A and B are shown apart, each in its own frame.
Chain A
Amino acid sequence: MVIATRQTGTQTHYRTCNLCEASCGLVIEHRNGHILSIKGDAKDPLSEGHICPKGVALQDLQNDPDRLRKPLKKTAHGWQEIGWQQAFDEIGNNLRRIQQQYSKDAVGLYLGNPTAHNHGALLMLAPLIRALHTRSRFSATSCDQLPHMLACKEMFGHFANFPIPDIDRTDYFLCLGANPLASNGSVMTAPNIKTRLQRLQKRGGRFVVLDPRKTESATIADEHHFIRPGTDAVLLLALLHVIFRDHLNSDGVARSYLKNLDQLQQAARQISPPLAAAITGVDQEAIERLAREFARAPRAIAYGRVGVSTSQFSSINAWLIYALNIVTGNLDKAGGLMFTLPAIDLVGLAALAGETGSFDRWRSRVRGLPEFAGELPVATMAEEILTPGHGQIKAMITHAGNPVLSVPNGTLLEQALHQLDYMVSIDIYLNETTKHADIILPPTGPLEHGHYELGLHSVAIRNTVKYSPPLWQPSGNSLHDWQILAHLTAQLESTSLIKTLAAKSRLALIERLTDEGMLDWLIKLGPYGKGLPGVYQLLQWLGKNTLTNALKAKAARSARAVTHRLPALNKALQSSAYGNLTDDSPIPFPKLDLRELKQHPHGVDLGPLHPMLTHRIFTRDKKVDLAPPLFMQDLQRLLANLPLPGAAHELLLIGRRHLRCNNSWMHNSRRLIKGKNRCDLMMSTVDAQRLGLQDGATVTVASATGKVVLPLWVSDDIMPGVVSMPHGWGHHRQGTNLANASRKAGVSMNDITDHKLVDGLTGMAVINGVPVRVQRAPSPATTKQTHATVSP
């Protein structure tokens, strides 16, 4: 797929990086099938030329000799390459057999984070989920952004309807438990975030960070305060306490859409600044001042991410962060929290289909943890596999995930996966998780398929749209994720002769349509789209084959619902419901379809975020709920268990992200892992002195779950009482095929996180704020034992 030619032989390709949420534009120069360089694309309307080391390392992924290219089957004689059809047939037979023998729930599904960056996979997941018809579904969501989604659902009525920081126009950015300089932003697609924050400071604004660690972001902030892990909810309540007490709140444009302000005020009264100071470790004076500054700033944003969403009161945190923005008049205001309007408006489409998310419709079998969006919390996945009884998981499908390294108590999960009857992994690597599979199905690499940020355009700080075609067509024998998922779906649907025929014809239809075909339809149908004459047909197709996660369980009902609403929808679309939102955009843009998009390889700028609150409240009463009953109830749990510091010897473990890491993967890229070891334990000087430990010492970190041994990094950039290590390491496990990663293995933080430690409301994993003990590691001989793992 040649986009431009600069000189003979050397070709230039433009695309979007798929690795993290920042979605940076890339310029790839290549010749004769070899990548010459990967650089930032200055013409990308969102990323402005920004690129990080991970983007450059995409070529390592492309060229990695360890990458799987053909289906692998585990046999008595080791792994054997097999053909695709054989793989699908065997998988189909086994999964159907297990579901027939035990129950539908006996087959589980785990979706990893990269799935969210793969439009083909996203488009084909819903049919697969429908065909699987299992309640044993899990994803990285429940060790990541679930609390934000629940807050969106409870407050705005839609679980995927995130209000996004309008960072380019704000005067005050209060950042809790997030390190955008390392993560490049999350639930906030904001490439080049450092420059954006510096621009904020240049225009006289303030950037304030609250974090148990003086993060990379904190070093450029105007102000940083250490805050004890797990206490953000208390801090937020105290900020609200001051704001209400001093009558600094203002409703702003959202005024007529708010409800239960009095209940929020009542909640905030429960936590005074002195109490918050005792709990959080943030000065009382600072709490008072931050509250006043935030409320008085003309345009302000409070933003929190993994640090607050993976702690013991994560649901309350997510709620209160949104609430803080709202009661200071910063919702739906330029420079505040705003809603996006992407070219494929998943939120709007799902809502039209009557799908706005679900919570606690059922509970997990073993521990009674609540369902969210059809999924159960990952914290209970191992138990659901290990605990006998009706509904026990006997087989797993994993897609682009490495939960052994990324969910709490990975050691337990390892044991669980090891005892499964059957396991299928869709992955490009033989890694710590997929080694337990019976068959591994490797999809094409990121440069070998098209890329459209189906999810991330919805959380970007600016409305843009871009489609990147594949750099290279994959070799003849490769399948894309969407094709693999479609095949698996067809296998699962083939339970009788007639159903098999139907499944085959649907598969044929999808293969003919292709992912590009589906995208084209969706773009045409979107707010900036050219429109689609066959809207009715499309919607029928949507109802049957669906596109969003949202439509899965209620597909038939949704289809009916959509059909019933058709007259209104047709009218809405034809008179352009989005018209008033898009027409006043300062930037003219063409009416879009996929062909048009391909003419704009750097992407199309659709302008800054617009006020659109009226279109983005999906609650029944069209009100934003400032005090949803779920959270008010969970608040009682907080008040009864105020997380006071207690014994100073109790060290709390938090995670740490590095710009060169991407959760558990990308460690097989030599260029990303070269240099100084990054898998070490960060500890304050005070604690190190108390424990008699020196910088560089080898230490054992033990929790209720297990222990790991790693080097110590003594630093004053971490709060006393807190230690930090990165996650996603631990590549020493036998039986993987990750040459570079296993040479620099590190240890897995999730070998010491605790699957029993969850947010009491959602069952969301607690990864930040795990109590640990640290001591000098006994001797090299004994440390080896801690590396022992279960091998298949």
Chain B
Amino acid sequence: MTKTHHTFCRVCEPSCALIAELDENNRLIKLAPDRQHPVSRGFACHKGIHYQAIHQDPDRLNVPMKRSNSKAEAGHFVELDWDQAIADIAHKLQSIRQQYGNDAIAGYIGNPTAFNALGSQAIGSLFTQLGTRRLFNSGTQDCSNKFAGAEAVFGTSTLHPIPDLSRTRYALIFGENPKVSHMSFVSMANPMAQLKNARSNGATIRFINPRRIESATAATGDVLQIKPDTDLYLMAALLHEIDQQVGFDESVLAEHGKHIAGLRAFIAPYSAQSVADVTGLDAALIRQTAIEFARAESACVHMSTGVNMGRQGTLCYWLLQMLSFVTGNLDKPGGNLYGLGFYPAAKAGAMHNLSADSIFFQSEHGELRTIRGALPGNLLADMILRDSNPIRALFIIAGNPLLSMAGEQQLREAFGQLELIIVLDLVRNASAEYADYLLPCTDMLERPDINICGLGMQYQPYVQYTEAVVPPAAERKPEWWILGKLEQAMGLHSLFDGDHQPNPFGRLNRMLRYSDLDIDQLKAAPGQSITLPDNGTGRFYSDWLQTEDKKVDCCPALFKEAIAQAHRLFQELNSEPTNQLKLISLRTNYMQNSWYHNMTELKREQQQENPLHMSPQDAAQRQLTEGQPIRVFNQWGHLQARVKIDDTLRPGTVAMTHGWGNQHSAGLHVAQQYPGINVNQLLPTGPGSFEKLSNQAHMTGINVEVEAYSR
């Protein structure tokens, strides 16, 4: 007798509904897309379907473990019970805090916690109470520029208008490959279907990407193959040409905008003609795109990691919003809309009186800010190795900083020197090899949840609850339980305080109440899902915009330094040698950042290593052939790889998939067998390697050299 459970995927933004099939022993038999779900309607991708392999991975952590040898050696771990583990860790943390202060304890929070409503709450609670400023998260590797940009332009880090694809006549999509990533900062089921649908409704879709991405087909749209990390100048030129050729929507500007002169001053030098060389795009094409966009009945914009991870993601996000705003497409059907969902998260990130003086502070590592609480990940190693009050204890929660950030060698040195590393994860990943304590967590099938991640970014708003599909195996515990117990042991406020059963859903219930919902209603609903009203228009400027004067800031004063830098960088790019190779990052359907590497199913013959993708022209110029061993290097690092000729790349651009480099990951048997190469070794790290406005690391459009090489 099998039974089925409704649940949903918590790997990436769409949060696709799934049906879990269990046997009579409550063992998972399979995961399948939920065809009945009102929104995802039977869409799910390899990540959700293959989650079964993660759930049943023999390498999963099952019991708390403690390191029994020095970090200089390969980790040797012994089991201990939860009480002992919690007591040990609490004691060590207390003594480090007492001796060195709160800032001696740090946290690195990985991306999967964004898909974990209870876990993320618990993390917030613990670190707030620990009083440390040393918080890092994966956001500074892929999206913190959006927080900074929205904060400066809209007065809140949590307002991210999403493209209204179903009604649009024109869409510009920068640095995003929906077919593989399924979009980010938009929670949209089956984005390819939405794009095709838009196209068949007559919309023009243009992708902007150095690669002829899989998403760009006759059924969707074409690609402007831009030079990496030059999107800012294309956006500026689009605005410049719109202003010159079509004109801004002056009534919208007058009513809802401010500092428009600043915007115009910034874009003034960047005509289509003047950016043609730097962006590598034909001036006429840029001009045409600008005119088409501005004249379209409705037009929407979106950008993602390909732009975020460059050097000027915040300014790009600013200009992206400007493209929408100055053409009157913001808060307009077919334009960009706020996706309210069950709770107005846009208000939660409101920040008033933004100024350089109020957000930046002096540090040993230069002038810094935090972005939604996070310091630059690229300073983590520095704050361990080169700080007068160094980090001594580090929580790594659902993260793998060693392979997902720049500076692997330095991080290894830094982790090797930490007094205490506490890892909360499903597996012992590359970073966890340095752990002092390994705490086994429940996976998404073992814990209840709601689809919190898409809040404020849902294309078709709905809220879904899932029970734990199966009970946690072995000694695995949810993060909220582990951190709550730890808080209790440290004498901090904890869910476990008092005699009553802890109710981790309390806060979520309070949020749901905004939509007159609660968890019990969700539980009772069919498929535990309740659809919410469609994203409306008309409330953006009055309700969701959070600037004090309710004006969109078209040129935030905070950007002054970044704007000057942008003009300098333009000159720099202009004088670069024409044959300078630029490395961009790449994702395939066989990976998800640094995870999904431990499953045989995804290590098919062509997916067992990560070669350097190179255009046929670049290969020919260097007399390189398919499969040839090469060395890739720049001032930051060097690696050896093989050439993969890839005609989808713009010449001058090379690409490698990231998240590899599991040579030393003894806790991941499959991944270690196909270790691949950590491309992040080629990325800059330390002061100056991230965008000062947002802490976003510079991770794409990296100058590299490639040469034939074999030892």
Task: Name the one of A275, A649, A773 contacting B688, with C-beta atoms under 8 angstroms.
Answer: A649
Do the beta carbons of A646 and B636 come within 8 Å of each other? yes
Q: Does A639 contact B (CB under 8 A)?
A: yes
Cβ contacts under 8 Å, A274 to chain B: 705, 707
Q: Of B688, B709, B711, which is within 8 A of A648 by CB?
A: B688
Q: A278-B705, A644-B638 are in contact. Are A270 and B686 (CB under 8 A)?
A: no
A278 to B638, CA, bound (A): 10
Report if A639-B711 is in contact (Cβ < 8 Å); known contacts: A275-B633, A278-B633.
yes
Given A272-B707, A275-B707: A644 and B635 interface contact (C-beta under 8 Å):
yes
Interface residue range, chain A: 10 to 19
- A-chain residues with CB within 8 Å of residue B711 when the two chains form the complex: 270, 639
Judged by a CB distance under 8 angstroms, whether B181 is at the interface is no
Report whether over half of chain B's contact residues are helix, strand or loop; otherwise say mixed.
Answer: loop
Of all chain B residues, the one with the shortest Cβ separation from A266 is B711
Contact B705 A644 (CB under 8 A): no
Residue A76 interfacial (CB < 8 Å) = no
Does B4 belong to the interface (CB within 8 Å)? Answer: no
CA distance A272 to B711 in the complex (A): 13
Closest to A272 in B: B707
Q: How far is the CA of A775 from the CA of B687 in the complex (A)?
A: 15
Bound Cα distance from A649 to B636, whole angstroms: 12
Known contacts A275-B633, A642-B633, A642-B638; A647/B707 CB under 8 A? no
A645-665 interface bits toward B, Cβ cutoff 8 Å, 1 = contact, 0 = none: 111111000000000000000
Choose among B407, B410, B631, B635 the residue that contacts A645 (Cβ–Cβ < 8 A).
B635
A618 to B686, CA, bound (A): 50
Of residues B637, B638, B705, B707, which shows the largest number of chain A Cβ atoms within 10 Å of its Cβ?
B638
Residues of A within 8 A of B364 (CB): 773, 775
Contact of A650 among B631, B686, B689 (CB under 8 A): B686
In the complex, what distance in Å separates the CA atom of A272 from the CA atom of B630? 12
Inter-subunit contact A647/B637 (CB<8 Å): no
> B380-411: which have CB < 8 Å to A?
382, 386, 388, 407, 410
Chain B residues closer than 8 Å to A775, beta-carbon distance: 364
Q: A278 CA to B637 CA in the complex, in Å?
A: 10
**Residue in B closest to A275 when the chains form the complex, CB atoms:** B633
Measured CA separation A702–B638 after assembly (Å) = 28
Q: In the bound complex, how far is the Cα of B684 from the Cα of A639, in angstroms? A: 20
Contact present for A644 and B386 (CB under 8 Å) = no
A381 to B576, CA, bound (A): 51
B685 within 8 A of A: yes
Cα A642 to Cα B637 with chains together (Å): 8
Main secondary structure of the interface of A (DSSP, over half): loop
B633 touches A649 (CB 8 A): no
In the assembled complex, the Cα of A646 lies from the Cα of B707 at a distance in Å of 20
Point out the residues of chain B lying under 8 angstroms from A650, CB to CB: 386, 686
CA distance A650 to B688 in the complex (A): 12
B460 CB contacts on chain A under 8 angstroms: none
Q: Does B634 contact A (CB under 8 A)?
A: yes
- Of the four ranges (under 10, 10 to 19, 20 to 34, 35 or more), the interface on chain B belongs to 20 to 34
Q: Are B688 and A278 in touch, CB under 8 angstroms?
A: no
Contact A644 B636 (CB under 8 A): yes
Q: In the assembled complex, which residues on chain A have CB atoms less than 8 Å from the CB atom of B686?
A: 646-650
Residue of A nearest to B635 (CB): A645
B635 CB contacts on chain A under 8 angstroms: 278, 644-646
Contact with A along B214-249 (1 / 0, CB 8 A): 000000000000000000000000000000000000
CA distance A646 to B631 in the complex (A): 17
Q: A294 to chain B: closest CB distance in Å? A: 23
Q: How far is the CA of A645 from the CA of B682 in the complex (A)?
A: 12
Q: State which of A275, A642, A645, A647 has its C-beta within 8 Å of the C-beta of B705.
A: A275
Bound CA span A648–B684, Å: 9
Closest beta carbon of chain B to A506's beta carbon, Å: 49
Considering the chains assembled together, what is the distance between the CA atoms of A304 and B199 in angstroms?
68
Q: How far is the CA of A773 from the CA of B686 in the complex (A)?
A: 13
**A610-647 interface with B by 8 A CB criterion:** 639, 642, 644-647
A758-792 CB contact bits vs B (8 Å, 1 = yes)?
A: 00000000000000010100000000000000000
Given the known A-B contacts A272-B707, A773-B386, A775-B364, are A278 and B685 also in contact in the complex, defined by CB atoms under 8 Å?
A: no
Whether A275 and B631, one on each chain, are in contact in the complex, defined by CB atoms closer than 8 angstroms, is: yes
Bound Cα distance A437, B706 (Å): 58
What's the minimum C-beta distance from B362 to chain A, rounded to whole angstroms? 10
Residues from chain B with a CB closer than 8 A to the CB of A647 are: 382, 407, 410, 684-689
**Complex: chain A residue closest to B362, CB-CB:** A692
Q: Which of B607-639 contact A (CB under 8 A)?
A: 631, 633-638
Q: Check A278 against B410 for contact (C-beta < 8 Å).
A: no
Q: Would B410 and A644 count as touching, CB distance under 8 A?
A: no
Complex CA–CA separation, A642 to B709 (angstroms): 14
Q: Is the CB of B637 within 8 A of A646?
A: yes
Chain B 310-326 against A: per-residue CB contact (8 Å), 1 yes, 0 no?
00000000000000000
Which chain B residue shows the least CB distance to A707?
Answer: B388
Most buried by B among A644, A648, A650: A644
Among A646, A647, A773, max chain B CB count under 10 A is at A647
B704 and chain A: residue at smallest CB distance: A278
Contacts of A642 in B (CB 8 A): 633, 638
Which residues of chain A come closer than 8 Å to B684, judged between CB atoms?
Answer: 647
* CB-based nearest B residue for A771: B386
Determine whether the beta carbon of A278 is less than 8 Å from that of B634: yes
Bound state CA distance, A272 and B633, in angstroms?
A: 11
- B residues in contact with A275, CB < 8 Å: 631, 633, 638, 705, 707
Give chain B nearest CB distance to A266 CB in angstroms: 10
Q: Which residues of A contact B407 (CB under 8 A)?
A: 646-647
Q: How far is the CA of A644 from the CA of B634 in the complex (A)?
A: 8
Task: Name the one of A270, A644, A773 contacting B633, with C-beta atoms under 8 angstroms.
Answer: A644
* Separation of A735 and B579 alpha carbons in the complex (Å): 64
Tell me how far the C-beta of A284 lies from the nearest C-beta in chain B, rounded to whole angstroms. 10
Interface residues of B in 658-711 (CB under 8 A from A): 684-689, 705, 707, 709, 711
Q: Could you say which residues of chain B place their CB within 8 Å of the CB of A644?
A: 633-638
Known: A274-B707, A278-B705. A646 touches B685 (CB 8 A): yes
Min distance, Cβ A746 to any Cβ of chain B, angstroms: 24
- Max chain A CB contacts within 10 Å: which of B365, B386, B711? B386
Instruction: Report Cα–Cα, A646/B633, bound state, in Å.
Output: 11
Most buried by B among A645, A646, A650, A775: A646
The smallest C-beta distance from A288 to any residue of chain B, in angstroms, reads 15
CB distance from A397 to the nearest CB of B (A): 34
Complexed CA–CA distance, A113 and B310 (Å): 54
B253 to chain A, nearest CB (A): 40
Most buried by B among A272, A648, A649, A650: A649
Q: Which residues of B contact A646 (CB under 8 A)?
A: 407, 410, 635-637, 685-686
A671 and B365 alpha carbons, distance in the complex (Å): 43
Q: What chain A residues lie within 8 Å of B382 (beta carbons)? A: 647, 649
Encode contact with B along A36-50: 1 for CB under 8 Å, 0 otherwise. Answer: 000000000000000
Residues on A with beta carbons closer than 8 Å to the beta carbon of B388? 702
Q: Which of B291-323 contact A (CB under 8 A)?
A: none
A404 to B172, CA, bound (A): 67
A775 to B388, CA, bound (A): 11
Q: A648's closest neighbor in chain B, by CB?
A: B688
A395 to B217, CA, bound (A): 80
Residues of chain A within 8 A (CB-CB) of B638 are 275, 642, 644
List 13 extra interface pairs beyond A647-B382, A647-B686, A648-B687, CB under 8 A. Answer: A274-B705, A275-B631, A644-B636, A644-B637, A645-B635, A645-B636, A646-B410, A646-B635, A646-B686, A647-B685, A648-B688, A649-B365, A650-B686
Q: List 21 A-B contacts (CB under 8 A).
A: A270-B711, A275-B633, A275-B638, A278-B634, A639-B711, A642-B638, A644-B636, A644-B637, A646-B410, A646-B636, A646-B686, A647-B410, A647-B685, A647-B687, A648-B686, A649-B365, A649-B382, A649-B686, A649-B688, A650-B686, A773-B386
Give the 6 A-B CB pairs with smallest separation, nearest first.
A647-B686, A649-B687, A645-B635, A642-B638, A649-B686, A274-B705
A residues at B contact (CB < 8 Å):
270, 272, 274-275, 278, 639, 642, 644-650, 702, 773, 775
